[in-house]
Every structure is written in C-alpha cells, then in structure tokens.
Amino acid sequence: MSDKKESHKQKSAVTEKSTTPYHLSANDSPENIITQVQLRGENYNEWARAMRTALRAKKIWLHCGSIKHTSDDSTEQEDWWTVNSMLVSWILNTIEPVLRSTITYQEIAKELWDDIKERLSVGNGPRIQQLKYELIECKQQGLTIMNY
C-alpha cells in the first residue's frame, strides 16, 4: 500500500507545474548553452527563434518581455535577479565570441535582448523591393503550366 502512495507522490512531483515565473531547475546553470544555434550576426532570425523556443520550454521567456524588475526588497526581487542573470548568461553563451565582444554589456535580459534585436534584425530593404518587383514581373506568357 505504501508503495502505491510513494509511486503516486513521484508521479505528482513530475507532473506538478511551477506557479512562479522564477522557477529554475537543478540542471540550470550559467554555463549552459540552451540552443545549438550560435548568433553570428546574419542569422539573427534563426537564432532568435531558437532562443525563444528554448526559453519557452524552460517557462522563462517572459523575462525577456513582460516580467519587470521589482524595486522592493522582497525575496521576489532576489528571485527575479537570479533568473535574469541566468538569462543574460544563456544569451551571451549563444553568441559567437567575436560578435559578443561588440555587444554592449547589459545586466537586464530584456534590455540585452532588445539591443541585439535592434542591431541585428535590420531587414535588407533594397533586396525586399527587388524580390517584390520580380514577383510582379513573373508572368506565364502563354506557356503551359508544366513548361512555366
């Protein structure tokens, strides 16, 4: 009978969800690399997508967006700083060393994320216009669908 209770407790612990946005697992550490996609500059969109996915899987993506720094001296502030510092480490660990040296040091994960986005997500306006023009000029000109 006690084996069943113990088994149930173990299953509950595995399926139990954290209700705090400051939860880190025992396996989380600052030296972890949470995605294999390394930011090189020209691959910002790929890197950002991989990072968002990894951070959502860890249920801490909100720290790069909507969870704001608290100003009171509560334990929540200490938890916020712990998760924020972990995020800054993870973000920096996925950036190519040459590029990392050019990134402004930011202590706040959201500010770091926004700085990287502002610098590296710039679209190529002339190329976009060229592609739009080529699409407009794309015509079948009497060819069959198979030949076109």
Q: What is the pLDDT of residue 12?
A: 47
Contact 94, 40 (CB under 8 A): no
| Residue 78, amino acid | E
Q: What DSSP designation does 29 have?
A: -
Task: Tell me the average pLDDT across 120-142.
Answer: 77
Task: Tell me the average pLDDT across 22-46.
Answer: 77
Contact 109, 63 (CB under 8 A): yes
Instruction: Quickly state the pLDDT bin for 5 (edges 50, 70, 90).
Output: low
Task: Tell me the average pLDDT across 2-18.
Answer: 51
CA 59 to chain centroid, in Å, comes to: 11
**Which of 5-14, 84-93, 99-108 is predicted with the least confidence, judged by mean pLDDT?**
5-14
Indicate whether 7 pLDDT > 70: no
